[in-house]
Amino acid sequence: MKICIVGGGISGLSAALLVKNKAKKLGLPVAITLFEKENRLGGTIFTKTEKNFQIEAGPNGFLNSKPFTLDLFNIAGLQDLIIRSNDAARIRYIYRNGLLEKVPEGGVEFFKSGLISFKGKLRILGEFFIPAKRDNGDETIANFAKRRLGAEAKDYMIAPMVSGIFAGDISKLSLKSCFPVIYELEKKYGGLFKGLIKKKNKKSGPAGPKGILMSCKGGLFNGIIALKNKCDDVNFLMDEKILSINKGDHNFIIHSNKCQYVFDKVVLAVPAYDIASIVENLNKRLSELFFDIPYAPACVVGLGFKDADLVDNLNGFGFLIPPKENKKILGILFSSSIFPERAPKGYKLIRIIMGGDMGRWIVNKSREELIKIAYDEAMDILKFSGDPYITEFFMYEKAIPQYYIGHSEKVEEIENILNKSVGLYIGGNTLYGIGVNDCTHQSFNIADKIFS
């Protein structure tokens, strides 16, 4: 069986490894070719190493609350490469009125917290008594949060949390598609508190994601290289862009910018806008549906400082900024507090995140302008006493797919088309979740489906 995988990010790479692994288990011969249009693998995942700093361009890591990425590394025999974040990384902050307020981790901290007013806290507790929404229709995260937790929790807990994950606008994003577990909690148990009590889910803080953040020694990109080295039988064709797919009699004819190929199965592990153009000849409607998935931009400014030049000791995960605070940045990650090896001894590393669905202005600014804005905003809050020792900049004009209201209907229609298009599979973060774990989860599913 000849299998084509398009895209060499974590989705394509994990699909290659898992399909290969599954075929080996089943004793079936496969020939896998992976196409990557750039001259390096990893896609969004890249780690720049500079003066002994390891600066992540994209994801910081992945949570261990879902098993998929850890399982992937285990299957590849790479468990020794995995590192766990520092315990300090459990401490998260939200910026409000010039202060970094700790996100409460339990009941006592919640009552003492300055993040939400007394009235706002009472309203959150009142969630227990709010009746469940009667219909099953989709709802924005903003509506849901206001309805169940009140306006203050919506603005100062939910909005920054969502911007930390999706870089998105809660008045547009769909609860059902972005946070299906929360959507189900209300549907199944009648409310969040009721659901959490029933599920005895006491460990997760009210606003922080559950689980411990994991990464790879030397940075996530090291994980990409190591995974690639475990794909010994996979044919990697770099610098080769797939342009289109056409249906053959019992196979697919693939056109790249260099050549034409024939494959039995095709896995597309690329962003939605790339899928849209690749499948245009194959199925116009499928192309339209993917074209219709919007993306938010993001840029990351990494700044390394000497310990002596910092006022704050940067202990914790970092902080997020609610859109209501009208700052130009989305938040700052204390990268070397999360993973101490990201900065050399005597130095600290932070990553400033800007843009998002509500910060589209970043695409019209130069690198220099954005670095200056990031530095000024960070300085305003963290009060450095010296200049950065290193500065790195990474831009993603289309960083993260946005699952707006109506996304689930799109997904349903896409699934219906794919069910009829035998041999075509979609991986990646376009449909079912944007985290690294969601991407690797899709690859496990694809490896199962290909041989079912």
- Of 76 and 278, the one with the shorter C-beta distance to ligand FAD is 278
Identity of residue 216:
C
* List 46, 62, 166, 193, residue binding ligand FAD (CB under 6 A): 62
Give strand pairing partners of 195.
none
* Distance of closest approach, residue 434 Cβ to ligand FAD, in angstroms: 5
Nearest to 73 by CA among 296, 222, 257, 210: 222
- Contacts of 250 by beta carbon, 8 Å cutoff, 6+ apart: 264
* List 4, 5, 9, 193, residue binding ligand FAD (CB under 6 A): 9
- Are the CB atoms for 10 and 433 separated by under 8 Å? no
Gyration radius (Cα) of the chain, Å: 22
- Of 142 and 227, the one with the shorter C-beta distance to ligand FAD is 227
* Distance of closest approach, residue 210 Cβ to ligand FAD, in angstroms: 13
Contacting ligand FAD within 17-36 (CB under 6 A): 35-36
- Of 6 and 124, the one with the shorter C-beta distance to ligand FAD is 6
DSSP code of residue 27: T
CB atoms within 10 A of CB 425: 22
Contacting ligand FAD within 354-413 (CB under 6 A): 396, 399-400
- Are the CB atoms for 34 and 235 separated by under 8 Å? yes
Backbone angles phi, psi at 22, to 5 degrees: -65, -45
Copy the structure tokens of residue 427.
Answer: 């991986």
- Of 193 and 404, the one with the shorter C-beta distance to ligand FAD is 404
DSSP code of residue 397: E
* Distance of closest approach, residue 56 Cβ to ligand FAD, in angstroms: 8
Size of residue set near ligand FAD by CB under 6 A: 37
Q: Mask: binding to ligand FAD, 196-235, rule CB under 6 A, as x and -?
A: ----------------------------------------
Enumerate the H helices of 175-262 as residue ranges.
175-178, 180-189, 192-198, 220-229
* List 43, 297, 359, 423, residue binding ligand FAD (CB under 6 A): 43
* List 180, 205, 211, 435, residue binding ligand FAD (CB under 6 A): 435
* Distance of closest approach, residue 158 Cβ to ligand FAD, in angstroms: 19
5 binds ligand FAD (CB under 6 A): no
Contacting ligand FAD within 231-260 (CB under 6 A): 241-242
* Distance of closest approach, residue 278 Cβ to ligand FAD, in angstroms: 6
CB atoms within 10 A of CB 314: 22
Instruction: Tell me the CB-side half-sphere exposure of residue 53, using CA atoms within 13 A.
Output: 25
Copy the structure tokens of residue 202.
Answer: 């006491």
* List 4, 16, 19, 45, residue binding ligand FAD (CB under 6 A): 45
DSSP code of residue 332: E
- Of 60 and 402, the one with the shorter C-beta distance to ligand FAD is 60
> CA 99, CA 177: separation in Å to the nearest integer?
32
Q: Mask: binding to ligand FAD, 115-144, rule CB under 6 A, as x and -?
A: ------------------------------
> CA 55, CA 47: separation in Å to the nearest integer?
5
Contacting ligand FAD within 159-198 (CB under 6 A): none
318-320 and 92-96 strand pairing: parallel
- Of 193 and 252, the one with the shorter C-beta distance to ligand FAD is 252
* List 82, 103, 124, 434, residue binding ligand FAD (CB under 6 A): 434
> CA 218, CA 53: separation in Å to the nearest integer?
9
* List 3, 4, 6, 72, residue binding ligand FAD (CB under 6 A): 6
* Distance of closest approach, residue 15 Cβ to ligand FAD, in angstroms: 9
Nearest to 2 by CA among 213, 231, 251: 251
* List 7, 160, 168, 316, residue binding ligand FAD (CB under 6 A): 7
* List 24, 25, 28, 38, residue binding ligand FAD (CB under 6 A): 38
- Contacts of 220 by beta carbon, 8 Å cutoff, 6+ apart: 42, 45, 47, 56, 58, 59, 61
- Of 149 and 303, the one with the shorter C-beta distance to ligand FAD is 303
* List 2, 31, 48, 59, residue binding ligand FAD (CB under 6 A): 59
CA 142 to chain centre: 20
Contacting ligand FAD within 294-353 (CB under 6 A): 298, 300
> CA 364, CA 122: separation in Å to the nearest integer?
43
* List 206, 208, 271, 318, residue binding ligand FAD (CB under 6 A): 271
Nearest to 394 by CA among 322, 297, 293: 297
CB atoms within 10 A of CB 72: 26
* Distance of closest approach, residue 259 Cβ to ligand FAD, in angstroms: 13
Q: Which residues bind ligand FAD (CB under 6 A)?
A: 6-12, 35-38, 43-45, 58-62, 241-242, 269-271, 274, 278, 298, 300, 396, 399-400, 428-429, 434-436, 439
